[in-house]
């Protein structure tokens, strides 16, 4: 039976963006324009494995982007590709009357466009500071880190009048662990070993719409 969409969302699905919603890491695509891809990739991998603090790793990586022109955003968006099954997952979630949101340690300059393409209006991400048409090597505003992702999930649910038991969180890196643990159904997708070991549920990929099978199995067991 299809839920009545006029009665309000019955679930909230929140996804990470880099290496979850899309197949790439946006900061690595931006680093191509700065000539710092190898350095940034190494720090990203350490952060996603939980070996270093995300906030510190973000500052270190963003600093290497100083001087990159804002025109690079268009190239990065063109190179970012949705993970197989993303369109199907979002479409089915909407069909079921769910709200879908994105929470990213990446950048709003790219996330906003990805969200719009999928019909998602609720998202939270970092913002890059720009001066004279070039990146300064700093972010602006509150940093969206591991703790902030969980806060965003809780705030989205509260705004929708949903209990946390009605939330689903999907991510791949260590900075997703808090929101995965807080969600009613927390799913590690194609995740780093530390995440797969701690997440209640896992989908190895390659298709992210397999998350629907996890939700349906959990519901059937209740």
16 is catalytic: yes
Among 16, 145, 172, 178, the one annotated catalytic: 16
User: From residue 135, how far is each of 48, 68, 138, 184, 195 by CA, in Å?
Assistant: 24, 5, 7, 38, 32
First to last CA, the chain: 18
Query: Is the Cβ–Cβ distance between 101 and 149 less than 8 Å?
Result: no
Active site (annotated) includes residue 18: yes
Q: CA dihedral defined by 86, 117, 147, 207, rounded to 10 degrees?
A: 10
Q: Which residues contact 105 (CB under 8 A, 6 or more apart)?
A: 16, 18, 54, 58, 125, 126, 144, 145, 149, 173, 175
Q: What is the CA radius of gyration of the chain?
A: 17
Which one from 4, 18, 204, 219 is the annotated catalytic residue? 18
Looking at the annotation, which residues are catalytic? Answer: 16, 18
């Amino acid at each position: 039976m299809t839920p009545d969409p006029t009665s309000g969302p019955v679930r909230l699905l929140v996804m990470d963006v880099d290496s979850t919603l899309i197949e790439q890491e946006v900061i690595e695509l931006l680093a191509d324009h700065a000539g710092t891809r190898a350095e940034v990739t190494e720090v990203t991998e350490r952060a996603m494995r939980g070996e270093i603090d995300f906030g510190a790793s973000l500052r270190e990586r963003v600093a290497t982007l100083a001087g990159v022109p804002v025109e690079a955003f268009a190239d990065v968006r063109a190179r970012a590709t949705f993970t197989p099954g993303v369109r199907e997952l979002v479409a089915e979630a909407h069909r079921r009357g769910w709200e879908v949101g994105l929470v990213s340690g990446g950048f709003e300059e790219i996330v906003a466009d990805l969200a719009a393409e999928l019909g998602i209006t609720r998202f939270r991400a970092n913002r890059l500071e720009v001066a004279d048409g070039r990146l300064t090597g700093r972010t602006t505003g509150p940093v969206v880190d591991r703790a902030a992702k969980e806060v965003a999930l809780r705030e989205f649910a509260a705004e929708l009048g949903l209990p946390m038991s009605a939330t689903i969180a999907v991510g791949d890196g260590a900075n997703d662990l808090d929101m995965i643990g807080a969600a009613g159904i927390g799913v590690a997708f194609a995740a780093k070993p530390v995440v797969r070991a701690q997440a209640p549920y896992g989908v190895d990929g390659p298709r992210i719409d397999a998350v629907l099978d996890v939700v349906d199995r959990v519901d059937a067991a209740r």
